[in-house]
Amino acid sequence: MTLSGNRPPASEPKRLGAPGDTEKYQKATPTVSRVFKDGSILEMVLHPDKRQTDFVIWKDGQWRTEKSIAIDPLHRLVPYSASNNLIQNNVVLFPSEPEEYESEAAVIAEIQAFIHRYVDVSAFFEKIASYYVLFSWVYDGFNELPYLRVRGEPGSGKTRFLLIIGFLCYKPIFASGASTVSPIFRILDSFKGTLVMDESDFRFSDEKAELTKILNNGNVRGFPVLRSEVSGKGEFNPHAYHVFGPKIVATRGFFDDRALESRFITEEMGQTRLREDVPINLPANAAEEALRIRNKLLLFRFRNLNKRNAAEHLVDRTVEPRLNQIFAPLMAVVDDPAVKQELQMLIRQYQKQIVSERGMDTEAQVLEVIQSLLAAPETTTLTVAAITTRFAELFGEEYERKITNKWIGMILRRRLGLVSERSREGYLIPAAELQKLGRLYERYGLNPTGTSD
């Protein structure tokens, strides 16, 4: 019942022959997906017209449908029943069969068009959400992943966003109807799909604390959440629930945990008037459109799961490490060089957006001044006075206060961590401190080379 990476991959699947005495003694294990040692992939599909589930097996570039799969003489895998309550009530969604697509770029364009048709978000976030959908279908080929979040007040469109993006993701698990958090642990552990949830659906502090555990442990492989379970004998036994996987979250505010906040790619909802072409009510065919896209994404998963992984060459040194950790898996999802370049531009745009939102424009401006001074041939030492003078020339009109050496020195010391020392020329930044600049340029979205992007 587990995907590759959480436990050793299973043996090669075997076809089942006609039912007979052997099958009667095989233990049937309900399963939704599995990756085998030989590279073959098993995925459960749901035929909505028949209300019937099957397996699709991918091996050697071909796929076939099976009712069940024998993994050894004593065990066989069976799909969850279509009458399962989670499936009947669309808590978890599945594709119906693999469907051919033109190209990766065409799939991304189709995903983005679907999102644009039903959701009003910025062009930047619309594109990021499209990549995230694609990434969710091969997430288990990576060890780390980001989360996608929308933030805003009631009526800002958060629920619509969760629904539309969730429609397209890999095995979306809609947690909004959960009365408690406990079922979410079990569903994530069993189905290992994309969690889609609105934080406001969980009102009590202990429930939100449990959700925070899922989010804190769910973006890096190998960090299950331990929970006490009561055995049939009344004994308490710890159980490890695997919660690693993509997550799409809606919140009204921020999380107190800074490390957790840094794992989200976030869009502020309700900032502008709703686009006129976005329907207030979803049409009946929206779910059918989404199913066709999921079918294409199933084939994308088959073709790409075993060859996608984050690589060092995808790291962009012009952005801070945390953003690289978030975006490198998304970069690894696509092969098209033009698409990669577009995503890289989006990453740098997001870096600048974060700098602005954090209110770090002043620090970035000071670093720009330092960068320009160090690039000048006449600069032999970097003094606080020289930084102050150049800062006042370039940015002084933006500030109502007087630009002084003391104020710039405070920014250098307290906000940037650059310690100056007294010399005959006044206070200067020693050579040892200049070694910190490369990391600071990355953090504040500046090109380390000083050239334009």
- Is the confidence at residue 310, as pLDDT, over 70? no
Q: What is the CATH number of the domain that holds 255?
A: 3.40.50.300
Q: What is the CATH number of the domain that holds 415?
A: 1.10.10
Same domain? For 281 and 214 the reply is: yes
Expressed as residue numbers, the domain containing 52 is 21-86
Residue 449 lies in a domain: no
pLDDT score recorded for residue 16: 41
Please compute the mean of the pLDDT values over residues 49-67 and round it to a whole number. Answer: 94
Range from 134-138, 272-276, 291-295 carrying the lowest mean pLDDT = 272-276
Dist CA 63 CA 56 (whole Å): 6
Same domain? For 276 and 232 the reply is: yes
Residue range 234-251, pLDDT digits in tens:
667 788 999 999 999 998
Residue 332: both structure tokens together = 């690894």
Dist CA 108 CA 137 (whole Å): 13
Same domain? For 277 and 406 the reply is: no
C-alpha dist (Å) from residue 226 to 34, 212, 214, 270, 337: 23, 13, 11, 37, 42
Dist CA 181 CA 161 (whole Å): 22
- Is the confidence at residue 132, as pLDDT, over 90? yes
Residue range 329-376, pLDDT digits in tens:
877 877 767 767 777 777 777 776 665 655 557 888 899 899 999 988
Domain boundary among 357, 384, 399: 357
Dist CA 413 CA 138 (whole Å): 44
Residue 452 lies in a domain: no
pLDDT score recorded for residue 6: 38
Residue range 69-126, pLDDT digits in tens:
998 888 899 999 999 999 999 999 999 999 999 988 899 999 999 999 999 998 888 9
Same domain? For 264 and 159 the reply is: yes
Residue reference for tokens 């800074």: 258
Same domain? For 218 and 137 the reply is: yes
Closest CA to 42 of 51, 27, 54: 54
Domain boundary among 324, 357, 390: 357
- Is the confidence at residue 56, as pLDDT, over 90? yes
Same domain? For 123 and 195 the reply is: yes
Dist CA 332 CA 211 (whole Å): 28
What mean pLDDT, rounded, does the chain reach?
84
More confident residue, 308 or 246: 246
Domain boundary among 86, 118, 141: 86
Please compute the mean of the pLDDT values over residues 403-424 and round it to a whole number. Answer: 91
pLDDT score recorded for residue 258: 67
Range from 177-181, 222-226, 330-334, 377-381 carrying the lowest mean pLDDT = 177-181
Same domain? For 337 and 369 the reply is: no
Residue 453 lies in a domain: no
What band does 307 get if pLDDT is binned at 50, 70 and 90?
confident
What band does 452 get if pLDDT is binned at 50, 70 and 90?
very low
pLDDT score recorded for residue 158: 92
Same domain? For 320 and 237 the reply is: yes
Helix (H) or strand (E) holding 35: strand 33-35
Same domain? For 238 and 366 the reply is: no
pLDDT score recorded for residue 330: 77
Residue 12 lies in a domain: no
Residue 2 lies in a domain: no
Same domain? For 181 and 40 the reply is: no
Same domain? For 151 and 217 the reply is: yes
Residue 438 lies in a domain: yes
Degrees, nearest 5: CA angle 275-159-124: 50
What band does 445 get if pLDDT is binned at 50, 70 and 90?
low
- Is the confidence at residue 327, as pLDDT, over 90? no
Same domain? For 29 and 41 the reply is: yes
What is the 8-class DSSP label of residue 13?
Answer: P
Residue 5 lies in a domain: no
Q: What total number of domains does the chain contain?
A: 3
pLDDT score recorded for residue 234: 67
Dist CA 409 CA 407 (whole Å): 5
Residue range 138-178, pLDDT digits in tens:
999 888 898 999 998 888 899 999 999 999 999 999 987 66
pLDDT score recorded for residue 98: 97
pLDDT score recorded for residue 191: 95
Residue 197 lies in a domain: yes
Residue range 254-290, pLDDT digits in tens:
887 767 887 888 888 888 888 999 999 999 899 999 9
What band does 2 get if pLDDT is binned at 50, 70 and 90?
very low
- How large a percentage of the chain has pLDDT more than 70? 83
- Is the confidence at residue 311, as pLDDT, over 70? no
What band does 320 get if pLDDT is binned at 50, 70 and 90?
low
Most confident of 34-43, 208-217, 252-261: 34-43
Please compute the mean of the pLDDT values over residues 129-137 and round it to a whole number. Answer: 94
Range from 291-295, 307-311, 395-399 carrying the lowest mean pLDDT = 307-311
